[in-house]
Amino acid sequence: MKRTEIKQLLAEEKIGAEVNVKGWVKAFRSNRFIQINDGSTIKNIQAVVDFEKIDESVLSKVSTAAAVSVTGNVVASQGSGQSIEIEVSAIEVLGEANPDEVSKTVMQPKKHSMEFLREQAHLRFRTNTFGAVFRIRHAVAYAIHKYFNDNGYYYIHTPIVTGSDAEGAGEMFRVSTLDPKNPPLKDDGSVNWEEDFFGKETNLTVSGQLEAELAALALSKVYTFGPTFRAENSNTARHLAEFWMIEPEVAFADIVDNMDLAEDFLTYVVKYIMENNADDLEFLNEREVKEDSTKPQAERNEMPLIERLKFVVENNFERITYTEAINILLNSKPYKKNKFKFPVEWGSDLQSEHERFLVEKHFNKPVIITDYPASFKAFYMRLNEKKDGVPGDTVAAMDILFPGIGEIIGGSQREERYDVLKQKIAEFNIPEEELWWYLETRKFGTVPHAGFGLGFERMVMFVTGMTNIRDVIPFPRTPKKAEF
């Protein structure tokens, strides 16, 4: 008999039909009620066993985490909590699970610490929380592709191995096939990378942007969605060494078009999840409310998860310049009371304490900050005209900050003027031979263009309410951790 997935079974409620369900046992109560989950939905199906009909030797193997195949008729449920259940006529244990061993794992149905769940990343998919998170992660990825496809963007695959270190977005991981104990050396004793696999130094990419720009200057609207790697030693709840980034790049667009796109895109994705992942969201919402109730008032979320998502969909993002942000900070209570650890002054980068104040206290909604000082932003960002009341050079950069997440998007209008770009490359001490191809696009039909990078995992954090980035990617890579 063909297997019916639990999601479909619950949606159809075909009372009287004979069905087969395969899944894993979540719980087995009173030698009679088996809760089965197959991952298609967060909901379980209850299979009710009449032990006079089913052999004891089979039932004795039914236990939490075992895989079972159950056949029987769909009936209206007697108990509360579910509308239908299966009256079991046959049951087969496909894979047993030793209860003593299960009790040492995260599959044991009780509350586990997030750290313990991370140590068992190979098993945590079986828990309700991670089932919900990874179903939503999938849906976020799908919604992203759907948004761009429906709006006429082309998905470009940019290289993962890169021969240029020019972007400067982060520390890189080297890619090499040389023998680390015995590398070929040049006369001066340095490693001769010409003998390496690619005949030059290569690394894992930190961003697909520069290559995406090349494509945008022909296909007009493109995006990348791929893995990126940064070797910073930042052990925070918001950083991974391997994460996924979405980078749209648009020709004939300026910084305002870029902000409009980012806001429309983020809102679309949040709405998509609210409309298509209601069961998982409700579970995560409940979970968060329960967690919050154990925390001191100050650490609780001001709004529950689903309300936060609704709020983002229904309200416009705040748009301010860096210079305005500095003025708000200089007039803020924490600044006046000396509560900020880092200085607030025009020309220094905003630290996360400043960003949090702006997003979570002052505006209490997503904020787009533009026109940052040129001094601490990337070479490719377009140089702005000088403005009154702005002390120094700025670039057409934008960062989008989300409550509880911090920076979720970083982007800019790009420097399309050949001479200005060439000058910037020199000022940043980037060897021109590394970027000749990038510069060359500014010689043949250069146009204003803009784009941004969305941190995929930070987006998944926002829509699931998970507070540690390690809990929204199946197998996190962080300093000193690359298990599984």
Would you tell me which residues interact with ligand 4AD (CB under 6 A)? 169, 207, 209, 230, 239-240, 243, 245, 247, 407-412, 451-453, 455, 457-458
Q: Could you say whether residue 410 binds Mg ion (CB under 5 A)?
A: yes
The answer to whether the CB of 399 falls within 8 A of the CB of 369 is: yes
- On whether the CB atoms of residues 51 and 59 are closer than 8 A, the answer is yes
Binds 321, which of Mg ion, ligand 4AD, none (CB < 5 to 8 A, cut-off by type)? Answer: none
Between 6 and 466, CB nearer to ligand 4AD: 466
Q: How far is the CB of 373 from ligand 4AD (least distance, A)?
A: 16
- The three-state secondary structure class of 91 is strand
CA distance 306 to 274: 8
- The least distance separating Mg ion from the CB of residue 410, rounded to whole angstroms, comes to 3
Q: Identify what 169 binds: Mg ion, ligand 4AD, none; CB under 5 to 8 Å per kind.
A: ligand 4AD
Cα distances (angstroms) measured from residue 6 to each of 22, 40, 370:
9, 6, 48
How buried is residue 322: exposed, middle or buried, by Cβ count under 10 Å (0-12/13-18/19+)?
Answer: buried
Q: Rounded CA gap, 134 and 140, in Å?
A: 10
Q: How many CB atoms lie within 10 A of CB 2?
A: 5
State how far Cα 328 lies from the chain centre: 30
Partner that binds at residue 453, options ligand 4AD, Mg ion, none, CB closer than 5 to 8 Å by kind: ligand 4AD
Q: Which is nearer to ligand 4AD, 23 or 453 (CB)?
A: 453
Interacting partner of 451 out of ligand 4AD, Mg ion, none (Cβ under 5 to 8 A depending on kind): ligand 4AD
Residue 158 or 332 having the CB closest to ligand 4AD: 158
Nearer to Mg ion, 23 or 406 (CB): 406
The neighbour count for residue 253, using CB atoms within 10 Å, is 22
Q: How far apart are CA 326 and CA 344, in angstroms?
A: 7
Number of residues counted as binding Mg ion (CB under 5 A): 1
CA dist 195 and 199 (Å) reads 6
8 Å CB contact between 33 and 48: yes
Residue 457's binding partner out of ligand 4AD, Mg ion, none, with CB under 5 to 8 Å set by partner kind = ligand 4AD
Instruction: Annotate each residue in 368-407 with x if it binds Mg ion (CB under 5 A) or - if it does not, as one string.
Output: ----------------------------------------
- By beta carbon distance, the residue nearest Mg ion is 410
Closest approach of Cβ 271 to Mg ion, in Å? 25
End-to-end CA distance of the chain: 36
Q: Which is nearer to ligand 4AD, 23 or 476 (CB)?
A: 476
Q: Kindly tell me which of 410 and 451 has the beta carbon lying closer to Mg ion.
A: 410
- Interface contacts to Mg ion, rule CB under 5 A: 410
